[in-house]
Amino acid sequence: MTDTDIQCLKENVDKIVEIQTVDGELLVAKIISVFDQEDQPDIFYDVVSSNMIDCYSHLESGAGYSLDFDKILSVKPVANV
């Protein structure tokens, strides 16, 4: 993930982005928050869609999900969703 990707995440809090992960997931997510000042930076998000949606079906926390920066390959905004 590049500095541009991190900036994209920060600029799109409460908006929809497309995230490509290192394990091949193509995730469309609504960003809840971005934490980049910690030892292990991550994001919190709600799932909009995923090509690996089965991994979310058994999780019902209701508070969103988290993803470490080192699991993200790229980020891009999704226009007008």
Count other C-beta atoms under 10 Å from residue 15's C-beta. Answer: 15
pLDDT at site 72: 96
pLDDT tens-digit series, residues 37-49: 878 889 999 999 9
pLDDT at site 64: 83
CB contact at 8 A, 40 and 68 = yes
Please report, for the chain, the start and end positions of each structural domain, with discontinuous segments joined by +.
Answer: 3-77
Instruction: Tell me the pTM.
Output: 0.86
pLDDT at site 51: 93
Nearest to 73 by CA among 18, 11, 15: 18
Residues 6+ apart with CB under 8 A from 21: 27, 67, 71, 72, 73
pLDDT at site 22: 96
- CATH for 3-77 is 2.30.30.100
